[in-house]
Structure 1
């Protein structure tokens, strides 16, 4: 038996048994779903939180010396630290890091999807626009990682999972973190050779530009169906990457210049992340004709400038609105629905069905939209760190507010509309004067990434929900009043009701806090997945929560009981009640669904976004619904006659 024959068996000895094994007294292994050079990934069941997760075990083969095994263990911990610092919808979420029998395990969000590589292998090359959409998501995750000082170093088709209307970048296992000492002293080149940037093939350090080159090579495979550089072995591939130009893409169409711009051999000549994002957005939004003949060198960086094609087509394909009453599973207990929710029963539905009113370009992925109480001002923000304001009646842009250092995930208008609060990845909350279009104050909750914001009905208090807890602030005094949450729980979201109740949920539990009636919070019940959206109905009694389990659950907060669920086939990223309480809007994948609350039926499906829909907001009169999406647009839907 050769040493190579012995190695897998030795690895199996240290890894222990597989299916059915209980890790850290909490995670039950179900089935192996992936295996790589550094570990094996299992589908597992979190028996405490009753949810499915991905559990990654690090290989610690016995044939390695003690210091080498320690290096492997440290690399696993580095992966966890890297991924935990990155909060982005296109980056996999790390839930916990545990050890079992001296071996580290990383517990992550379970992505039920296929890798980009396997999709191309089985189905052939992707259309350029679809590849551009994937590229935009991955680029957003990379920009967030780079802003946090993390270089991925292994951007490949195998590390991009496609699921639930989004592309997710996984496996930060060989990532480097700015400020961390190097732990790899073996001299080996880490990462897949075919997607390794030229400077790294020469032995130089990885930089954000290296990740961009790898993204370009990944997009090459996505649209061409083959790797950009061939070779009989890793050394031949690395040599070609350094000294040979790849075959010019023939199936890439308008995506070709973007790929060529990302894959320039000299890092300084490559497209920047901002330039690539803009160009990918053009392709993803179909602003470039598919049969357009591109001039030589289009999209390449020359003399510090990016030579771009003309935008000859500015209007994307018209969205489809499928209206009509479709039977759907909704609240299980009709008799338990609050009186106000039943009050609309028997009323005639509006004669006119929903229609697209306007499409506003936000220039980047939109993560949050808000409309002031008067229905005159619309705010949208997201990946590009700016808050854009429009006049809602005539859809005219009025201002762009800048001040955040990273992506913005949450926004909320005060009840009087004079103040807009925004927060996100930079862990700050900025209060803006909406009339003067200037910053009023900056709050620093120190609670991790801000995921949601909510003003109390009187506007005196602001709830900030982050990855670590929920905090209540006195708006006038800019003072923290109270901290809510449990040390063992993370990933919070929150919403205020008109009664002054605050509902907040972690990845484990839904709770309610009554500031005046009961100083302490009360538990409403458990949740089965990460809660991404919350909204109260106009009565202030019923709260709807949506999350990664693909359901919207409704709770009667007064009775402290669950009313029922609205099922979806993908994660739910946004929920909103109309001002009259007759309609519930939910966003799942690239689709918005309208539900009749009283009749418990789906009334319309709104399509047209070319990416995940991340946020929803109704106008005060209920006639307009705003939806923000990863395609860089805010769509306004007319719901009334």
Structure 2
């Protein structure tokens, strides 16, 4: 029986209003009609087609969350009152915290001053120390799980917690938790320790004071690679909080600040809040540090807030090869630094060469972008957007595990697709529009009818996350990029080949507009494959920076590739020569897209979307996205609309004509 306002749960708890929703959970403010108090009622659910084993695991996990929180009697931990079953789904009845999440606060009002963040960190640390003393590891500390109610700070959602002496209720080998806030040892697939929670605390405080995550990336594979191999991004606004962040975000758990030292440093910073003479950004931000009122519990996953001015540069590569594991096999294998050092670009950065100049040059593009509409897309970061071939629908997937479809005629949300267990990083329509493919962190590629009304098939990579999807021009083949590039028969709903790029993680793939050519990129090289005979690829270039965004021009003659160094390079597909490089963008390039007529190239780097005139070879403009990281860009089939989306959970539609 579906829940709804006014419904009575277990004969005692009447639902009042929905206050949070994620891929497999919904939280309501409810009224306890026996004790006459407000409570939070969290329903955990799975789709109707879930197996008996999945439902059994869900119930075990519900009890695990309740037991973990019930062991703790601390003001910084949400109190669990009851666990009940109503219909087929279990509900956790908890203390109702009348506040909002740290993630929501920063997204809405911007970064907080260091002194306020230190106070939040102190209270979270006290709750974590209480949990650790009780033998409980939280394993999912992140801004979306931190509730702020006045000056009280509460750590919620112990759904991934482990209790000393209890069996670990996780799927075999899966790295669980928000990727952006996972400690390096957990990103490598190693067990969590108390220091892992402290790392996540440091990453959460970094987000609160900077308005962005310490490790960015267009998909979890890229984020986890950064966590394992790179230094955190600079924290120019942390001020006195800087040493704490540096101490907590050390790669080696044994080198991290301990709880006692962290508490002492945070207390010293928090004590400055009352001191006189505070100036600059911290003083200006102090007026907004009090949390505006709001209901209840936070969304199940967080995004990131507005990025501060100035460029975000990638960190340095770490020493040696790193590995972390999916459910059954290696999910991401970062290239050894020695190999990356040898894999140098042989073509220097330069202006566009004669090969480009000799091409026909139609009239240059001319456009003045105008924000046409904004589509709120749930509570969490949006990683992917895709237009249907007829331009009537838009699909988007993100960190809340869901895929949403909009009717663009009236900009109405038509359906929300659930079926992924973790973040959704890729969505693509088949050329005929009859099939929508989605994929993400859980390693499953789901095929839906183009209108989203029916689920057609599940293609399983056996636990290996998927970063990108692309259909062949005839729609018969679907390529998925992740730990490998797999080719799937769309009519047969089965795998037909795995491209032999052994030992390389593949972050993106794109089919050429005509024929059977597929471009792939990841940790080592950009390659071109003939999918009809995939045994011998052609290497376009070796890489010194991960490439996570790639697109062919509509005529198939040019390949655009952007990556971690903030640069988009253009390659001649026939000769494999670099045609040129666009101006550096202020952050990692997560997405690139050509307009259907090939005149405009849109590039998302950091918090900026650059529109580049591909004919006149000059920048047209940058879009005022007013958000943090932009993860995805897509043109409508007629080229009149550009969609952008990222970590503020809003899709922006821009009119280009």
Please give the alpha-carbon distance, in whole angstroms, between the structure 2 residues aligned to 1:83 and 1:173.
21
Q: Secondary structure at the match of 1:429?
A: strand
Aligned to 2:614: 597
Q: Secondary structure at the match of 2:549?
A: strand
1:473 aligns to 2:488 (yes or no): yes
Q: Give the counterpart of 2:499 among 467, 476, 484.
A: 484
Please give the alpha-carbon distance, in whole angstroms, between the structure 2 residues aligned to 1:603 and 1:549.
21
1:533 aligns to 2:600 (yes or no): no
Distance 1:409 1:161, change over 3 A: same
Distance 1:519 1:83, change over 3 A: closer
Please give the alpha-carbon distance, in whole angstroms, between the structure 1 residues aligned to 2:641 and 2:649.
19
| Pairwise CA distance, 1:336 | 1.1
Distance 1:422 1:117, change over 3 A: closer
Please give the alpha-carbon distance, in whole angstroms, between the structure 2 residues aligned to 1:563 and 1:497.
18
1:553 aligns to 2:581 (yes or no): no
Aligned to 1:634: 651
Please give the alpha-carbon distance, in whole angstroms, between the structure 1 residues aligned to 2:457 and 2:413.
24
TM-score, normalization by structure 1: 0.55
Structure 1 vs Structure 2 CA RMSD? 4.5
Please give the alpha-carbon distance, in whole angstroms, between the structure 2 residues aligned to 1:600 and 1:441.
43
Please give the alpha-carbon distance, in whole angstroms, between the structure 1 residues aligned to 2:235 and 2:596.
33
Please give the alpha-carbon distance, in whole angstroms, between the structure 2 residues aligned to 1:452 and 1:579.
20
Q: Give the counterpart of 2:434 among 412, 418, 432.
A: 418
Contact 2:470 2:510 in 1 (8 A): yes
Aligned to 2:374: 359
Aligned to 2:259: 192
Query: 1:470-619 counterparts in 2 under 5 A?
Result: 470-499=485-514, 500-516=516-532, 520-569=536-585, 570-619=587-636
Distance 1:359 1:489, change over 3 A: same
| Pairwise CA distance, 1:532 | 1.1
Distance 1:348 1:482, change over 3 A: closer
1:253 aligns to 2:289 (yes or no): yes
Distance 1:508 1:250, change over 3 A: closer
Aligned to 2:299: 274
| Pairwise CA distance, 1:250 | 7.0
Aligned to 2:110: none
Contact 2:365 2:615 in 1 (8 A): no
| Pairwise CA distance, 1:517 | 6.6
Contact 1:164 1:589 in 2 (8 A): no
Distance 1:359 1:463, change over 3 A: same
Contact 1:83 1:93 in 2 (8 A): no
Contact 2:215 2:232 in 1 (8 A): no
Please give the alpha-carbon distance, in whole angstroms, between the structure 2 residues aligned to 1:579 and 1:529.
28
Q: Secondary structure at the match of 1:375?
A: coil
Contact 1:529 1:549 in 2 (8 A): yes
Distance 1:526 1:593, change over 3 A: same
Please give the alpha-carbon distance, in whole angstroms, between the structure 2 residues aligned to 1:338 and 1:536.
18
Q: Give the counterpart of 2:641 among 599, 624, 638.
A: 624
Please give the alpha-carbon distance, in whole angstroms, between the structure 2 residues aligned to 1:504 and 1:450.
13
Distance 1:388 1:330, change over 3 A: farther
Q: Secondary structure at the match of 2:582?
A: strand
Please give the alpha-carbon distance, in whole angstroms, between the structure 2 residues aligned to 1:421 and 1:582.
28
Q: Secondary structure at the match of 1:385?
A: coil
Q: Secondary structure at the match of 1:620?
A: coil
Q: Secondary structure at the match of 2:537?
A: strand
Please give the alpha-carbon distance, in whole angstroms, between the structure 1 residues aligned to 2:236 and 2:407.
33
| Pairwise CA distance, 1:610 | 1.5
Please give the alpha-carbon distance, in whole angstroms, between the structure 2 residues aligned to 1:475 and 1:412.
13
TM-score, normalization by structure 2: 0.54
| Pairwise CA distance, 1:397 | 1.0
Distance 1:91 1:256, change over 3 A: farther
Please give the alpha-carbon distance, in whole angstroms, between the structure 1 residues aligned to 2:631 and 2:465.
17
Q: Give the counterpart of 2:409 among 365, 383, 393.
A: 393
Please give the alpha-carbon distance, in whole angstroms, between the structure 2 residues aligned to 1:250 and 1:163.
18
Contact 1:413 1:419 in 2 (8 A): yes
Aligned residues: 404
Give CA deviations for 1:467-488 in whole Å, capped at 9, x if unaligned.
Answer: x211111011112111114323
Please give the alpha-carbon distance, in whole angstroms, between the structure 1 residues aligned to 2:463 and 2:432.
27
**Structure 1 unaligned spans of 5+:** 1-80, 98-114, 120-128, 153-158, 176-187, 202-216, 229-248, 262-270, 286-328
Aligned to 2:355: 336
Aligned to 2:423: 407
Contact 1:88 1:140 in 2 (8 A): no
Q: Secondary structure at the match of 1:336?
A: helix
| Pairwise CA distance, 1:221 | 9.6
Aligned to 1:14: none
Q: Secondary structure at the match of 2:299?
A: helix
Contact 1:330 1:566 in 2 (8 A): no
Please give the alpha-carbon distance, in whole angstroms, between the structure 1 residues aligned to 2:236 and 2:575.
34
Q: Secondary structure at the match of 2:574?
A: coil
Please give the alpha-carbon distance, in whole angstroms, between the structure 2 residues aligned to 1:454 and 1:384.
22
Distance 1:565 1:524, change over 3 A: same
Give CA deviations for 1:398-424 in whole Å, capped at 9, x if unaligned.
Answer: 111011000011111110111111111
Aligned to 2:480: 464
Distance 1:89 1:486, change over 3 A: same
Give CA deviations for 1:61-88 in whole Å, capped at 9, x if unaligned.
Answer: xxxxxxxxxxxxxxxxxxxx99987784
Q: Give the counterpart of 2:455 among 439, 446, 457.
A: 439
Query: 1:48-63 counterparts in 2 under 5 A?
Result: none
Contact 1:164 1:571 in 2 (8 A): no
Q: Secondary structure at the match of 1:452?
A: strand
Contact 2:405 2:452 in 1 (8 A): no
Aligned to 1:430: 446
Please give the alpha-carbon distance, in whole angstroms, between the structure 1 residues aligned to 2:414 and 2:513.
29
Please give the alpha-carbon distance, in whole angstroms, between the structure 2 residues aligned to 1:434 and 1:332.
42
Q: Which structure carries more relative contact order (alpha carbon 8 Å, separation 6+)?
A: 2
Q: Secondary structure at the match of 1:333?
A: coil
